[in-house]
Amino acid sequence: MVLAQARMEARLLVRNGEQLLIAVVIPVIVLVGMVRGAERLGLDYDHPVVDVVTPGVLALAVMSTAFTSLAIATAFERRYGILKRLGASPLPRSGLLVGKVGALLAVEVLQLAVLSVVGLALGWDPHLSGVSLVAAVLGVLLGTAAFASLGLLMAGALRAEATLAAANLVYLLLLAAGAVILPASAYGGFGAVAQWLPSGALGEAMREAFLDGTVAWRDLVVLGAWTTLGTIATTRTFSWE
């Protein structure tokens, strides 16, 4: 039942044009635009710009699906009574949530594959090793858990229209100032704050994985803490109808 629910959720995400725009089109545009316009944007790092930006855009893709897409989709399912009906079906509510997370991971695999191909075409040269791959997988899993818990928190507490506006607003704010695409050091004094945000922690974890081939344990702990806080808050405030 959980697998069937996950397949259905994944198909709905892929078929939705708005969600596809957030999940794939925007990250690709950001990746190509920042790499091609690096000189005009004044981007200068010890590593090639494409090697710095690509892991950040991979983190952005996780955030777009696990937070924005999930929050909006769940909010409107709640508004139209779909969650209420699913909650009364043989599928337990915990199974419904697991199915949603499974769908997110399936969509993220497609996102990361597409973005990796685009990054390689632009000259991305990631540090690939057993450690770097484990570090990246841990970052994606914990990042997905953290953003999914926060997305469900928003979807379960706000009206659908408010969730639509708030999720997109938070997405744009984190995209611009959340240290997800660029290192926290690029934000000056605010970087000390941004690195503790889930966006900053996920971005740093992905950059350390593919730039240095190391596991960013501090950032993974930060993502774990956001997951815990988001999960506790969601279980206390989420309304199924």
How many domains does the chain divide into? 1
* pLDDT of 196: 95
pLDDT at position 86 over 90 = no
pLDDT tens, position by position, 133-176: 999 999 999 999 999 999 999 998 899 999 999 999 999 999 99
User: 9 is in which domain, residue-wise?
Assistant: 2-237
Residue whose structure tokens are 């959980």: 2
* Percent of the chain at pLDDT exceeding 70: 96
CA distances from 29 to 2, 61, 168, 182 (A): 34, 12, 17, 15
Average the pLDDT over 32-60 and give the result. 87
Helix axes 93-121, 49-63, angle to 10 degrees: 160
Query: Could you give the 3-state DSSP secondary structure of residue 96?
Result: helix
pLDDT at position 88 over 70 = no
* Cβ atoms of residues 71 and 18 within 8 Å: no
* Cβ atoms of residues 156 and 81 within 8 Å: no
Dihedral class, residue 45 (left if φ above 0, else alpha if ψ from -120 to 50, else beta): beta
Task: Copy the structure tokens of residue 86.
Answer: 């699913």
* pLDDT of 102: 86
Which of the four pLDDT bands, split at 50, 70 and 90, describes residue 126? very high
pTM over 0.75: yes
